[in-house]
A and B are shown apart, each in its own frame.
Chain A
Amino acid sequence: MKPMLKVLLSLLLLVLASPALASPLLNLNLALDRTVLPAGQSEKTIIKVLLDVPQITDSSLRPPVNLTLILDRSGSMTGHKLENAKEAAIAALHRLSERDLFSLVTYDHNVTTLVPPQSAANSKWIEARIRSISAGGNTALFGAVSQGTAEVRKHQNENYIQRMILLSDGLANVGPSSASDLGRLGAALLKEGISVTTIGIGTDFNEDLMTLLASRSDGNHYFVESSRDLSRIFAAELGDVLSIAASKIHIEIDCLPGVRPLRIIGREGTIRGNRVQLQMNQLYGGQQKYALIEVLIEPGQAGQNREIVRVNCRYENALTNKTEKTLRLASISFSQRQEEVQQSASRPVQKAVVENEMAAARDRALDLYNAGRKDEAVRELRQSSGKLKARSAALGFSDLAEEAQTLEEDAVEFAAPSIPSPRKKELRSESYKVRKQQKN
């Protein structure tokens, strides 16, 4: 009985001491678009939940990566595209270390695992396999992602950073081909901690499908018009993947009494009652990610300082493989004086809001446009532009109001008889980068 008690006691001590021993890896910060609100009235305000990840200086500390490359080898890839893709894949392979796993799945109407998961140190053999790829056939995109997932899963419980890179230049014409189907698959993969980065080459791929798959699984998305840029994109992607510092990030924002969550700007999440939940799969060192939440605050008295939200962040420290938690509270003051309210306005928050609202507006407009509702798309852009301009001006940021004016220019573009396919892809990809704070 006594030894048991000792063990229990020491365990208890360890649990109590551990948070004190190591400071959390992630730096959680909260910012408001105005820290002072006009007293006596219900006000909408925006909370920016900021996640800062420090740069990992010692690369030997970085967690090993389990990378699966899914390469389109359908008929449309013939020629330069495939050759450049192969070169980029080989270059990516050489950036991995011997601790990392590399696997390669190629697909046309059939899906083949060309390189089963193995150490990247075996680069000679892998390189020969990559060079042997030839093009031909249809595009079984869903099957390819499924098989890629199966390859990743082989090492799922071994503390690897799980990542798939899907490269395609065409429409999925074998199996599920709708953006929503692939989006559902992406959502399921996110729960397994697998992110899919999608790279669309040329002008023939389905950008909705590729962005939704990446978005739901919290990967990156790149639009590459010319396959010559592939090497650069792969390098950027590898740079991200090889600096992952935290994974499986859950953010819970509890609104305290007198505060009601209204919506999440830019990102996807759930609002149930007074709780907002957000999820990110992987955070890269030296990067900043944020989420914007709009809340409605009940009237307060002048001079009152009130706590409005409590934010919990739970994540896995990829360097130590331990779950860490941080907590922050945000509070707000009320004032009768208009200038005090005006002075408290935060430019960075409003800038993020403008950028994200614009990106979201463009996405909605594209959805409407693709559904054949062109007029509504144009109206959507104009309305968003108007709202953002008014709000920025009210907060005293005239330059941000000007930025919001670009949506008007987009509206003109949408009103034209047709939007060229590369432009649509560019719009989608740009919106994606803003909403997900993707660096490259």
Chain B
Amino acid sequence: MNRPKLIIAAWLLLLVPTLLLGVGAWQLLKSESERFAQREIQTAAARLATVAGNIELAIAEVEDGLMQRLITFEDGDLPQLLGDWRQENPLVRNVFIWQPGSGLSYPDPEMPASDEEEIFIRRYLPLFSGELDWQQPVADRTVSPQPSAASTMSADSVLSERKELRQLASKALVSNETAAAPAAIGLPGQSGWLSWYADDQLHLIGWYQPANSIQRYGVELEMMALLSRLLGSINPGIDSNDSFALLDGGNRIFHQSGPFEITEKSAPSTSRSLSGLPHWRLNIYTGAADKTPESSFLLIGSLLTGSFVAAILLGGSLLLWQAVRNHRDARQKTSFVSNVSHELKTPLTTIRMYAELLGEGKIDSAQKQHSYLQTIIRESQRLTRLVNNVLDFSRLEQGQKTFNISNFELIELVEDILIRQSLRLDEAGLKLIKQLETGPLLVHSDRDAIEQILLNLIDNAIKYAADGGELIIDLKSDTEKIDLTLTDRGPGIPSVQHQKIFNKFHRLDSSLTSFQPGAGLGLSIARQLARGMGGDLTCMAAVPCGICFCLSLPTTREIS
């Protein structure tokens, strides 16, 4: 009795851990793939930092180099030296000499030597006129905070180390130079780089003021030449999936490099500001192609986990279903054995009782003796039918049932059976109404099987529908099939049971059936026989009451 519960409990024991395992595995996969993506971003940031570092270093080197050159001019003919320098050096756009109070002395603001110089003077007018301070606002030159990642940090630290060393070196150089040149003073001069936004463009201007002078002279960087040289370091490499983009202060793409096209709307994986180029940014974009490994990893992982979980659950359910079926079958077989024993015992008891009465010789009346003998015969016939059913059932179950097919007249067979059963029907109080077609109706079928089907149906009618008072037998035929229906006026069968009654060992679980003996085999055998002959046996509710069984048999064209 506890066995089903045990099975369900076992199934639950399987189900719950399996589901937990599945969910856990999926979570693990998800976090792993997120870690993947995170690491991708981190390495992208590291690559970005390397490239940005190279750019910053290059700018710093250019600035340092120019500044050192500027410092060497200190004692010479400044206009001449600066002018020659401007003419030679591709990175020098303009040069100037300026003094607080008197303003520009080179180039001459009154007589600029070229259009370029005129524009230069106009561009820096607020600076040269003394309106603006020459000191750079501090915030402008600081590097924006980095995405905190271990790999980025390490790459950064290498670069910053290099930068520090370089700065140290150039500082030493500067002080050496200044100390060596104006030996009398021994003080280093002032210098600085200034970023300047004009005409929607960034300009860089460097200046130097010797320690013993109030005169400042300097250089304007040729930005386009500098940037043009920097572009070479923005190179993601041949096999890389990354694209880089250098964005100017107005957020316009200045340069891009990489396998796919970037527009201003593209979202970068990581972005970095550049210390040498205020307000400019360097972005890295990891491509759509790059995301596939992670997502496919998650997809394949999820699929695998899903199929494992499904396989375990399916296997478990299959075992459970098998166990439940076995349990049901065992129960049915037990009840079948007891039912059959009971069924066999009832006629045997009757036969034995009447046989004993006759054997004692106490019954004198010939009429009574005849009656007793009739009972014995009837009960043994019943016994035969029962045994036949059981035999047929076992044959059908094993698939060993062979049909003895022949041509015969169906109406004749039906009439014959009805005549033989008329006595039983009369005794049960059932009035037989025949609606048989006239004329011969040849069929190609198993005579005995049809007889057994009809007997089973009539048995059922006698057992359960005797109260109805009538049994209607109807035979119709068309070109396709022959329908033989038996309709009673009994209590009928609930429609939900219409299919189940054909299942083996099934009995309507009601007071009615428990009152009547039976093994639950008749209808099951009848249907299997009908189907074995190519026909069918179905059941439907009759109007106004009762139940109607319909045996369909295929017509035999070649015979008819």
> Which residue numbers of A lie inside 8 Å of B, CB to CB?
109-111, 137-138, 140, 142-143, 145-147, 149-150, 174-176, 181-182, 184-185, 187-189, 191-192, 250, 268-272, 277, 279
Check: B225 CB closer than 8 A to any chain A CB: yes
Question: Of B87, B224, B229, B259, which one neighbours A176 at CB under 8 angstroms?
Answer: B224
Q: Which residues of B contact A184 (CB under 8 A)?
A: 93, 222-225
Least CB distance, B280 to chain A, in whole angstroms: 13
Least CB distance, A67 to chain B, in whole angstroms: 19
Determine the distance from Cα of A143 to Cα of B111 in the docked complex, in whole angstroms. Answer: 36
Chain B's closest residue to A190 (CB) is B90
Least CB distance, A396 to chain B, in whole angstroms: 34
Q: Which residues of B contact A268 (CB under 8 A)?
A: 114-115
Least CB distance, B97 to chain A, in whole angstroms: 13
* CB pair A109 B256 closer than 8 Å: yes
Check: B89 CB closer than 8 A to any chain A CB: yes
Determine the distance from Cα of A192 to Cα of B108 in the docked complex, in whole angstroms. Answer: 27
* CB pair A145 B228 closer than 8 Å: yes
Question: Of A140, A176, A270, which one neighbours B117 at CB under 8 angstroms?
Answer: A270
Which of B91, B228, B254 has the most chain A CB within a 10 Å cutoff?
B228
Question: Of B89, B114, B232, B261, which one neighbours A271 at CB under 8 angstroms?
Answer: B114
* CB pair A270 B114 closer than 8 Å: yes
Q: How many residues of B contact A (CB 8 A)?
A: 33
* CB pair B114 A175 closer than 8 Å: no
Check: B54 CB closer than 8 A to any chain A CB: no
Check: B153 CB closer than 8 A to any chain A CB: no
Determine the distance from Cα of A175 to Cα of B231 in the docked complex, in whole angstroms. Answer: 11
Check: B129 CB closer than 8 A to any chain A CB: no
Determine the distance from Cα of A109 to Cα of B108 in the docked complex, in whole angstroms. Answer: 42
Least CB distance, A19 to chain B, in whole angstroms: 23
Chain A's closest residue to B222 (CB) is A188
Question: Of A110, A146, A174, which one neighbours B228 at CB under 8 angstroms?
Answer: A146
Interface of B is mostly: mixed
17 further A-B contacts with Cβ under 8 Å, apart from A176-B254, A192-B90, are A109-B261, A138-B261, A142-B228, A143-B231, A143-B256, A145-B228, A149-B228, A184-B93, A184-B223, A184-B225, A191-B88, A268-B114, A268-B115, A269-B114, A271-B111, A271-B114, A279-B87
Known contacts A143-B255, A192-B90, A271-B114: A137-B231 contact under CB 8 Å: no
* CB pair A140 B255 closer than 8 Å: yes
Check: B253 CB closer than 8 A to any chain A CB: yes
Determine the distance from Cα of A181 to Cα of B254 in the docked complex, in whole angstroms. Answer: 12
3 A-B pairs with least C-beta separation? A188-B225, A270-B113, A146-B228
For B455-487 the 0/1 string (1 means CB < 8 A from A) is 000000000000000000000000000000000
Question: Of A143, A269, A272, which one neighbours B107 at CB under 8 angstroms?
Answer: A272
Check: B491 CB closer than 8 A to any chain A CB: no
Q: Which residues of B contact A181 (CB under 8 A)?
A: 201, 224
Chain A's closest residue to B199 (CB) is A180
Least CB distance, B89 to chain A, in whole angstroms: 7
Within B250-304, the residues touching A (CB, 8 Å) are 253-259, 261-262
Check: B83 CB closer than 8 A to any chain A CB: yes
Least CB distance, B215 to chain A, in whole angstroms: 19
| A-B CB contacts (within 8 Å), total count | 84
Least CB distance, B239 to chain A, in whole angstroms: 14
Determine the distance from Cα of A269 to Cα of B258 in the docked complex, in whole angstroms. Answer: 40
Determine the distance from Cα of A140 to Cα of B261 in the docked complex, in whole angstroms. Answer: 11
Which of A142, A175, A279 has the most chain B CB within a 10 Å cutoff?
A175
Q: Which residues of A contact B253 (CB under 8 A)?
A: 174-175
* CB pair A272 B113 closer than 8 Å: yes
Q: Which residues of B contact A271 (CB under 8 A)?
A: 111, 113-114
Determine the distance from Cα of A111 to Cα of B93 in the docked complex, in whole angstroms. Answer: 26
* CB pair A150 B232 closer than 8 Å: yes
Determine the distance from Cα of A17 to Cα of B187 in the docked complex, in whole angstroms. Answer: 48
Q: Which residues of A contact B114 (CB under 8 A)?
A: 268-271
* CB pair B90 A189 closer than 8 Å: yes
Q: Which residues of B contact A143 (CB under 8 A)?
A: 231, 255-257
For B86-128 the 0/1 string (1 means CB < 8 A from A) is 0111110100000000000001100101110100000000000
Known contacts A150-B232, A185-B228, A269-B114: A191-B89 contact under CB 8 Å: yes
* CB pair A110 B257 closer than 8 Å: yes
Which of B90, B117, B259 has the most chain A CB within a 10 Å cutoff?
B90
Determine the distance from Cα of A176 to Cα of B93 in the docked complex, in whole angstroms. Answer: 18
Q: Which residues of B contact A279 (CB under 8 A)?
A: 87
Instruction: Offer 18 A-B interface pairs, CB within 8 angstroms, sorted by A.
Output: A109-B256, A110-B256, A138-B261, A142-B228, A143-B256, A174-B255, A175-B253, A181-B224, A184-B93, A184-B223, A184-B224, A184-B225, A188-B224, A191-B87, A268-B114, A269-B114, A271-B114, A272-B113
* CB pair A110 B254 closer than 8 Å: no
For B71-96 the 0/1 string (1 means CB < 8 A from A) is 00000000000010001111101000
Which of B87, B201, B224, B255 has the most chain A CB within a 10 Å cutoff?
B224
Determine the distance from Cα of A61 to Cα of B257 in the docked complex, in whole angstroms. Answer: 41
For B228-255 the 0/1 string (1 means CB < 8 A from A) is 1101100000000000000000000111
